[in-house]
């Protein structure tokens, strides 16, 4: 810790966070492990359901508070954020009730005749969850809910831009009946965060954010580290695809949260016969997002982020792309921007921009689209619009990404599907059951007969 005192949540109460508070929170989490790992699936599910009910009861109030705290996220976006957080807790409660144990047919092997076995998942230990600024409630929910289902204490390090969202969620969890010593929020600086990463009492690290995640993984090679990082989302619109639907959904998927989403649509490849038709329809949708309309996007997180996006746009135009709409910046607000005629030499086609800019390019075939979509170092989700089932399945097989959405943009997601990236986009998966698996390890229990069975 530096000399700066920050806000936190320890033992069910908000508090100032200094080095002593950090030590207390980690020590409590370590001590709580034995208690919470012995809670029943029923107990865990009850807590999870109570959190969902509490969030639903104040959904509008929470959405407004999230928008107010951030200053860059809209109430519209945060309304969906709250709804999805409710779904995370509801779905995780259902998973807890279904149970995580399974039987194993060991007597399929001759020398195991008469034996039975089952596998149960046990928490590895307390979890360190590190969240990002673009999903102040949902990202925290994706870390807390699976920890409860797994029977694991959790220490959360929120984004310093939106710590109150995580503190409020942690308080809701405690009010729902989860032991107060088993959940803590520590708004600490980078040095203190790395100290938490290295702390052996926190054997699981779940990180959502940028490429610094790989430094975390390198720093603790013996820990279970889950990384949910950024991607360079792409969509392919085939000549037989639904152009109107693709234009509508890609506009929403490209500019949600002003493009500040790990699965934002950033690159769109359209087969040449439908290229101009798509561009016209897409620009019509994007221009509806003017500042005075209900579809208006919000500002970026700060001026520096908007300047970075502006530089990418200038770079693309200087290399021969066309600025089809947008491109103007006022402080942290960047107009929703569409670039056409983009090529692989441009930054916008190869690196995550994390801002309100989408590049559209014409391709001559699905093969060319696959090559372009795969020409990045990592990907989370890509999308395909086509009416040809053979094209859809072939592309799904050949595209390298954590997920492929057929007849939808890469931003399409429900919160219990496995979610994560390939390559530099991440390591491991979140999404209820899959996150629980990240936090636990299997233990096999074998029961052999005390008297061998006759053959």
Active-site positions?
228, 262
3-state helix, strand, coil in the chain (%, to 5): 45, 20, 35
| Backbone φ, ψ for residue 268 (5° rounding) | -130, 125
**223 touches 203 (CB < 8 A):** yes
**Cα–Cα distance for residue pair 34/42, rounded to 1 Å:** 17
- Tally Cβ neighbours within 10 Å of residue 217: 16
Please, which residues bridge with residue 442 across strands?
A: 121
Question: Could you tell me which of 409, 390, 386 has the C-alpha nearest to residue 398?
Answer: 390
CA distances from 92 to 206, 306, 433 (A): 17, 36, 7
Tokens of 327: 């491109």
Tokens of 250: 């890609």
Would you call 170 helix, strand, or coil by DSSP? helix
Cα R_g (the chain), whole angstroms: 24
**Cα–Cα distance for residue pair 260/3, rounded to 1 Å:** 31
């Amino acid at each position: 810790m530096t000399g700066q005192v920050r806000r936190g949540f320890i033992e069910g109460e908000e508090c100032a966070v200094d080095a002593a508070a950090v030590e207390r929170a980690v020590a409590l989490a370590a001590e709580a492990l034995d208690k919470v790992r012995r809670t029943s699936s029923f107990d865990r599910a009850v807590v999870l359901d109570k959190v969902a009910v509490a969030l639903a009861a104040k959904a509008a109030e929470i959405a407004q508070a999230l928008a107010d705290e951030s200053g860059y996220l809209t109430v519209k976006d945060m309304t969906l954020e709250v709804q999805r957080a409710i779904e995370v807790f509801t779905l995780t409660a259902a998973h807890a009730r279904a149970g995580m144990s399974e039987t194993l047919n060991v007597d399929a092997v001759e020398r195991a005749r008469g034996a039975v076995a089952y596998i149960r998942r046990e928490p590895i230990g307390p979890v360190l969850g590190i969240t990002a600024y673009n999903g102040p409630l949902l990202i925290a929910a994706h870390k807390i809910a699976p920890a409860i289902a797994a029977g694991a204490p959790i220490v959360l390090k929120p984004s310093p831009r939106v710590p109150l969202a995580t503190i409020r969620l942690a308080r809701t969890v405690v009010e729902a009946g989860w032991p107060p010593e088993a959940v803590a929020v520590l708004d600490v600086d980078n040095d203190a965060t790395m100290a938490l990463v290295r702390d052996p009492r926190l054997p699981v690290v779940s990180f959502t954010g940028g490429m610094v995640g790989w430094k975390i993984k390198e720093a603790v090679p013996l820990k279970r580290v889950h990384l949910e990082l950024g991607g360079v989302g792409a969509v392919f619109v085939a000549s037989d695809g639904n152009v109107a639907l693709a234009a509508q959904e890609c506009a929403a998927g490209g500019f949600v949260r002003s493009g500040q989403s790990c699965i934002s649509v950033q690159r769109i490849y359209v087969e040449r016969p439908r290229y101009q038709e798509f561009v016209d329809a897409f620009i019509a949708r994007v221009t509806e997002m003017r500042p005075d309309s209900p579809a208006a996007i919000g500002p970026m997180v700060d001026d520096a982020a908007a300047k970075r996006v502006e530089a990418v746009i200038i770079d693309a135009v200087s290399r021969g792309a066309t600025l089809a709409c947008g491109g103007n910046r006022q402080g942290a607000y960047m107009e929703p921007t569409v670039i056409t005629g983009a090529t692989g030499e441009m930054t916008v086609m190869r690196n995550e921009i994390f801002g309100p800019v989408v590049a559209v390019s014409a391709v001559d075939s699905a093969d060319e689209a696959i090559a372009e979509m795969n020409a990045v170092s990592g990907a989370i989700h890509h999308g395909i619009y086509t009416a040809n089932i053979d094209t859809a399945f072939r592309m799904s097989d050949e595209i390298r990404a954590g997920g492929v959405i057929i007849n939808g943009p890469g931003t399409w997601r429900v919160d219990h599907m496995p979610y994560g990236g390939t390559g530099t986009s991440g390591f491991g998966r979140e999404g209820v059951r899959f996150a629980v698996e990240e936090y636990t390890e299997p233990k096999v229990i074998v029961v052999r007969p005390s008297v061998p069975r006759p053959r």
